[in-house]
Amino acid sequence: MSLHKLSFTHLSHLGSLSLAVWCLAGASQLSASQAPQGQGGTAAGAPSAQGAGRQAGPPDGRGGRAGDASGSTAWKWWNDLDVRRELKLTDEKARAIEAIFEKRQAEVKPWVDQLQKEQDRLNRMTQERLADVPTFTLQVSKLEALRSRLQESRTVMLYRIFLELQPDQFKKFQDIMDRRRRSDGRGRGSEAGR
């Protein structure tokens, strides 16, 4: 598939399973009481088994693996020597990709902070059960609007990163990600990843 034929669905699929780059800022925002989300687990923001309103995944709406508060599952693939070798990614390109990533991190930090505050409010409302339905609905809307903004920003960041790759590098990158998904039991046709 050429870069020009890249569909939004494919981009989102690649992004959610491949770049986990957002983990660094988002995972550091997790409180100790929030459970990390596994790939086959509850969608981000859905009530978990620990209680209605408790956020199951990372507080930034990205889905995917959350990791712990240190962001230990983050994979900056452009710094992975094996991937760089396979893609023939130059130091200059790796720095350009890192700059795209870091720029977005700085841009979305206020949104992530606000998202956490809104999530905390929703959690309190859910636990207290005193709010009327319209008020609760408004709070959910605030939270989901922030998640949507973060996801949109993330998807655009991924596209910017992909534009740094030559068509053959992008194809190889897709192959690398397909191999990772298969080895993690999260292949496109796998029920484990759904």
Total residues found in the chain within this entry: 194
Residue corresponding to tokens 């094996």: 82
Would you say residue 75 has pLDDT above 60?
yes
pLDDT band of 61, cuts 50, 70, 90 = very low
Q: Please answer whether residues 53 and 125 qualify as being in contact, where contact means their C-beta atoms are separated by less than 8 angstroms.
A: yes
**What is residue 184's predicted lDDT score, i.e. its pLDDT?**
83
Q: Would you say the pTM of this structure is higher than 0.75?
A: no
Is 177 in a helix, a strand, or coil? helix
Selection from 61, 55, 45 nearest residue 150 by Cα: 61
**What is residue 81's predicted lDDT score, i.e. its pLDDT?**
96
Rounded Cα distance, 85 and 77, in Å: 11
CB atoms within 10 A of CB 62: 25
Quick one: tokens of 129? Answer: 């059960």
* CA distances in angstroms from 102 to 14, 17, 75, listed in the order given: 20, 19, 14
Quick one: tokens of 122? Answer: 């929703």
Rounded Cα distance, 13 and 194, in Å: 11
How high is the mean pLDDT of the chain? 71
Please, where are the H alpha helices in 29-67?
A: none
Q: Please answer whether residues 83 and 89 qualify as being in contact, where contact means their C-beta atoms are separated by less than 8 angstroms.
A: yes
How confident is the model over 115-167, as pLDDT tens digits?
A: 999 999 999 999 999 999 999 999 999 999 999 999 999 999 999 999 999 99
